[in-house]
Amino acid sequence: MFFDTAQIHVQAGKGGDGAVAFRREKYVPYGGPSGGDGGRGGDVILVVEPTLNTLSAFRHQRKFKAGHGQDGRGKNQTGADGADLRIPVPPGTVVRDAATGEVLGDLAAPHAELIVARGGAPGKGNARFATSTNQAPRIATNGLPGEARTLDLELKLIADVGLVGLPNAGKSTLLAATTAARPKIADYPFTTLQPNLGVVDLDREVSFVMADIPGLIEGASLGKGLGHEFLRHIERTRVLIHVLDGSQPDPLRDFETINAELAAFGHGLADKPQIVAFNKIDLPAAQARWPEMQKTLENKGFEVIAISAATQTHTRELLYRAAAALKALPAPAAEPAAAPVIRYRDEAPFTISRASDASWRVTGRQVETLAARHRFDSEESLMSFHKAITRLGVIDALREAGVKEGDTVWIGDDYELEWQD
């Protein structure tokens, strides 16, 4: 089975906690603070691996976690950074945030990288908090959790030339006759159940990648048959070779059916340069229809050539015409090699809601980050947290909302505090 879509969950590493420690040194209060910082949490990075051509690796493994940063230690020792997790994906992978549908990246260039989850920032050791008025601080901060998100991956094969046409038109036979690809070929509908890629080497200077797209039928753009699942793979092709079965009773109707489906699907498919390959010219029925088809299609402005994929009649001429059409097109835009994708939209620093008669909840990325940073088992750390949320405006907002002595105040879902004036 061909896997061209997948959904995965990625979790970046947590930052290491800062340490509270003191060294032994004469004339230095408490020996002097020597708690080191924690290490940075590892990132989750998607990396384009040119040898891959399917998302089947995500069939059984769908959860990925990067390494956590190590905690800081005494003697000003900084914890080791967490290991980045690099996940290989095939060229042509489009990455979307499953929750919002936002496109985070389009990975087309070989070895391109995309950071999809950033590791948590490290905590600071108490050596960082020493001042002239507080020479022996007993405060350190925690490392932050890494980013987590669910991603939808969609593969769009990258090929220069795409073969389109009805089932059994001869696309797979043409690909097998002109490249080293060996697709399954048989005389029944939908022999091709997945796209196939092959490299066409015409001479030392002319080569390109050609894809055989599974046969389309009328209504494919609406989900009928197999073609709808694979129409996306034609989006990246630059030139189309429309293979017609010349032995069929009405090749012109077949031609119009496929072009109607391309237009209905959209995404610019109907505007791509198209060369018509009138296939099976070795058969008497095709030879009888060829003159009328040639005249009709040329009058419509299409370049058309009679071929036989089975006997390789005029197949090289067809491929040279496709190479010329490619050369006439402008060079494709270069894909960015890397792109950070973690974005925070404009949001209020916090919101306050009443959980019950004597309970309040404060939520928001900024205030919850402050809570995660601080340790509530230390009076000095609690005072630091109080000052931080006072500057943020949380204390005044709670008073205005009507908080009373002894009420419970939740910061997010994890931190429970008691209000005291």
Show the tokens assigned to 271.
């505007």
pLDDT band, very low/low/confident/very high, at 333 (cuts 50, 70, 90): low
Provide the edge-to-edge strand list for the sheet that holds 196-201: 196-201, 207-212, 161-164, 239-245, 274-279, 303-306
Specify the pairing of strand 359-363 against strand 408-411: parallel
pLDDT band, very low/low/confident/very high, at 336 (cuts 50, 70, 90): very low
The pLDDT of residue 38: 95
For residues 186 and 192, the answer to whether their CB atoms sit within 8 Å is no
Top pLDDT among 10 and 154 is at: 10
CA within 13 Å, CB half, 50:
5
Specify the pairing of strand 239-245 against strand 161-164: parallel
The pLDDT of residue 77: 94
Task: Say whether 394 sits in a helix, a strand or coil.
Answer: helix
**All domains of the chain in start order, with CATH:** 5-155 (2.70.210.12), 161-328 (3.40.50.300), 351-418 (3.30.300.350)
List the one residue out of 2, 322, 292, 286 whose CA is nearest residue 174.
322
For residues 60-73, average pLDDT: 94
> For residue 305, what are the β-bridge partners?
277
Our CA angle for 288, 289, 292, nearest 5°, is 120
Which residue reads 């008691």 in tokens? 418
Could you give the residue ranges of the DSSP H alpha helices within 279-314?
A: 284-299
The pLDDT of residue 182: 53
Rounded distance between C-alpha atoms, residue 215 and residue 163, angstroms: 9
Top pLDDT among 11 and 331 is at: 11
For residues 355-377, average pLDDT: 86
Top pLDDT among 104 and 346 is at: 104
- Residues 6 or more apart whose Cβ sits within 8 Å of residue 204: none
Top pLDDT among 196 and 342 is at: 196
For residues 304 and 294, the answer to whether their CB atoms sit within 8 Å is yes
Rounded distance between C-alpha atoms, residue 181 and residue 407, angstroms: 72
State pLDDT tens for residues 85-126.
Answer: 999 998 888 899 999 888 888 888 888 899 999 999 999 999
Rounded distance between C-alpha atoms, residue 296 and residue 298, angstroms: 6
